[in-house]
Every structure is written in C-alpha cells, then in structure tokens.
Structure 1
Amino acid sequence: MKKLALAIIIMFLIMPKQSKAQNNGAALAAAVGGVAAIGAAIASVEQMKEQAELTATQWILSNNPELTSFSLKTLAFDGKKLKDISSVSVITYKIQEFTPKMTPSLDGKKHVLFGFTSHGWINEYGIDFEKVQWFLIDDAEWIRMMTAYVKVASEEKNESSLIETLKNGKIVNRGVKVDGKLAIPFFKLSGDMYVVTDYSSRLKLLYNERSLGVYLKETKDLVQIGRGDIIDIHQFFFN
C-alpha cells in the first residue's frame, strides 16, 4: 500500500495543469487508472513470490526429509523477466538449518535451492510449477560448479589452486578477485563466442560475455545467472 500511495502522490505532482476542468478530469482518470494498474502489478508479483516460496518449501519437505528444522528465504526472484511470459529464468532460495530452542539462531548447514524455469512458466493463471526444475546444492557442490566454470572461463586449470582461490575470493565480471585484486582473469570473449563444459547428466555450464550460463538438458533451455546473484550465493556460503 505504501508503494501505491507514493505512486499516486507522484502522479498528482507531475500531472500537467489543464485550463479546462474537463481536461483535468480526463487527466486525473488516466493517472488514477495507471497507478491502479501499477499497484495491481506489484501485488501480483508479490503474490507470485509468496506462491513460489511456498512451493519451494513443499519441494524440500517432499524430497529432503532429513531437513527437519530450517529457514528458507528468497535470495533472488527475477521479476524483470515477468514481462515476457515465454522467457526462462532462475529463482534462488537460501536455506540454513538450525537447532530448535527458545531463541534459535541460524547456525547449521547451508544450502541453496535453484528453481530453473522454462518457456511459459508464467501465464494468466500465475506460475506453472510443472515448468520449474529444482536443484538443491550445498557449499561443496557450489565450489565444484564454480571450479568447473572458472576452468572454462580462464587459463587456470589447477583444481586445488582454484578451489583455494574461490573460497577466499569472489567472482566478478572480469574474473575471480581476492582481497580486491584480480587473481584469475577471465577470457575476453565476444558476444557470439561460447565455451562449454559438460558438468553433469542434467547441466552444461557456459561462459559467454563474462556471464555464467546454465544449459538444462531436459528442457533444452539456456538460463543466464546474474552476476549479482552469483556473488550473493558465494557470500552466503563463504561469508
């Protein structure tokens, strides 16, 4: 409601002054209609985020019964893709176990849950979760993924050295940084160049234009994970 109220105030402030009351009425009606549409869109996105978070929790309960006390929070919900219902994207959740007590703290094992979407995952009825593939990983799997990715994105092939650098650094657009210095520079590829590694039976990882691409073999979709999301996941595991 605060976002909607603020939008209405701004619309009144910037609405051009008209000399005729008739024009003022038309402008006012258009402004109110536009703000109402914006408010409805915001509410719709928030509702979809809550729906997706509930489904992610249900997936964990169905597929990982060993997780009996955990926190699940949305790390990234790629709202900018919602305007294209045919687009593919990825939703990520951070999960951490804890010991139940009067004042519990998140002190247990960490996981990240990926929800890779495919074409048509959003329609007029909301989210079609039949078009979402779920992947649950821990810090060890994340390091394996990032090691495979950096191997194809750079000249560094020494796995043990790579793992040590990744645990103490972070992945940025140009490579892997440690203490603010570029320790492993990435290849400078053009937009139509790709380097690919066959990571697993379900995934291929791609390096292109300083970005991480994930190719889903089952749906044949290519999803680009945002650089900011990669940094957030890495910090979550190795803060």
Structure 2
Amino acid sequence: MNKTIILLIALFFLVPQNLKAQNDGAVIGAAAGALVAIGAGIAAIKQMEERAELTATQWILSNNPELTSFSLKTLSFDGKKLKDMSATSVITYKIQEFTPADNPELNGKKQVLFGFTSQGWINEYGIDFNKIRWLLVDHEEWMNMMISYVKVSSSENNDNTLMETLKEGKVVNKGVKVKSRLVIPFYKLTGDMYVVTDYSPDLKLIYNERSLGIFLKETANLVQIGRGDIIEIHNYFFDQ
C-alpha cells in the first residue's frame, strides 16, 4: 500500500471524532498541515535514499574497477529507525553483474554492499557521507560471516554442518530453520547479554537477543542488523 494512503488512514483514525464535530474547519486545516509536513518528510527521506544510492554507486566505481556492468539497488535504507535517522545504522544494496545486451538479464555474480553509518550521519545539512564506511561481500564471504555468527550464537561448531544447514535454511529469531524445523537453536540470552567473536581485522560479530551486531573496529561503532534484513540478504544469495 502507498505510504501516503497509509498516512491518510492513520490520520483519519487519530483525529478525535468529538473534535471534528466541534470544529470541522480547524480540524481540516490542521489535518492538511499535517499531511503537508508528512509529505515533505517522505520526500526528504526519498531524496536521501537516492543520494545515498548514488554515493554507493560512486564508491563501487572508485574501488571496484573490475565491475564494468552491474545493477545496484537499495535493499534496505533502515526505514525502521525513522524516529532517529541520525543514529548508527546500516544501509544495504544488492549488486549483480550482467552481460550488456538489449534488455539484459541479471545473471552474473551477486554481491551485497553494506554502508555502515556513524552517529550524526544525517544532520540539518543532509547526509554526511564521510560518516559511512563501506563493505562489499559476495556469497562466500556472507556464508563465512553467517557460520561465525551461528557458532557464537549456538553450541554448533562444525563448519561443514553449518554450511550445509545454512545453504538450505534461514537464520530466524530463535536459530537456524530448515523449512519449518528449528535445526540449530540459539542460546537464550537477556537483552543485556552479548557473545562476541573476533571475525576479521575490521569486524567483530556479536550475538545479542534476536539480533546480529557488527562492531566496526575503525570507528568503534556497534551496528545491529535486523533479522528481516538478514533473511532477505540470505535469500538473495542462496534462493534459486
């Protein structure tokens, strides 16, 4: 459903009925003003998303000259955190190569580009792109990350078992599921407990209740990736 329609419906139910009866004109005027403000907010967010996508494309062109024909699409702009868009978060992009032709198919190598943001990356002047750190991963690197993450989140430590299970299944809130069966359950932790693995010279992976945390050593920022985004990235790489 279109965002504007959703906002109109929400506004209708949020305006008290007795207030409408007492002063229809004032209510209509206030509602119109609210809609203008909401529309401006949506437009601003869309513009920021487009600018960020352009910057991601420029980063690929500058740092990956071997990519000469590719598609880049926003997978997630972290829309769940609109109440504080300036906070640390992660933007993700789907990248896939193709062979140039009329109406080409996206049938080449798949990668995902992560844009890790720092506190204050959005301010009154717009986006501060100096506060974004980029990480490009292919399906092999993503699998390695998921294996390390599941190891730290559960009692399963066999790499081969984890790889085969992850190829068939999905990481959900409670563990790794294959179809509807929970094959690898995660540890049950409270919200203030963390289990950490030193994944690479740049990253630490952190298991906290229902979330994958990525700690960026360069900026000392902890960014949480939503479970829905993890599933979507995994599906992108491994769904046929």
Report the TM range for the smaller structure's normalisation.
over 0.9
Q: CA deviation at 1:73?
A: 0.6
**Aligned residue pairs, count:** 235
CA contact (8 A) 1:3 1:39 kept: no
Equivalent residue number for residue 18 of structure 1 = 21
Residue deviations 1:89-133 (CA, integer Å, cap 9, x gap): 000000000001112101000000000001000111211110000
Superposition deviation, residue 24 in structure 1: 3.1
State the distance in 2 between where 1:108 and 1:27 align: 55
User: Quick one: percent identity of the two aligned structures?
Assistant: 67
Q: Distance in 1 between matches of 2:6 and 2:193?
A: 45
Q: Normalization by structure 1: what TM-score?
A: 0.92
Distance between the aligned counterparts of 1:39 and 1:9, measured in 2? 14
- Provide the C-alpha distance between the structure 2 equivalents of 1:55 and 1:130, rounded to a whole number of angstroms: 11
Gaps of 5+ in 1: none
Give me the whole-angstrom Cα distance separating, in 2, the residues matched to 1:210 and 1:6.
Answer: 28
Q: Which moved more, 1:23-32 or 1:151-160?
A: 23-32
- Aligned counterpart, 1:76: 76
How far 1:197 moved relative to its partner? 0.3
Q: Provide the secondary structure at the position in 1 that maps to 2:21.
A: coil
**Is the alpha carbon distance of 1:8 and 1:235 closer, same or farther for their aligned partners in structure 2, counting shifts above 3 Å?**
closer
Answer yes or no: is 1:177 the counterpart of 2:180: no
In 2, Cα distance between equivalents of 1:106 and 1:113 = 17
Distance 1:157 1:34 in 2: 54
Q: CA RMSD in A?
A: 1.9
Question: What does residue range 129-208 of structure 1 map to in structure 2 within 5 Å?
Answer: 129-208=129-208
Listed as ranges, the gaps of 5+ residues in structure 2 are none
Paired position in structure 2 for 1:116 = 116
Task: Give 3-state SS (helix, strand or coil) of 1:18's partner.
Answer: helix
Look up the match of 1:31. Answer: 31
CA distance in 2, matches of 1:66, 1:115: 20
Where in structure 2 are the equivalents of 1:82-93 lying within 5 Å?
82-93=82-93
Normalized against structure 2, the TM-score is what?
A: 0.92
What residue is the counterpart of 1:217 in the other structure? 217
Contact kept? 1:85, 1:123, Cα under 8 Å: no
For residue 126 of structure 1, what is the amino acid of its counterpart?
A: G
In 2, are the aligned partners of 1:92 and 1:114 still within 8 Å (CA)?
yes
Q: Give 1:8 deviation, angstroms.
A: 5.5
> 2:214 corresponds to which letter in structure 1?
V
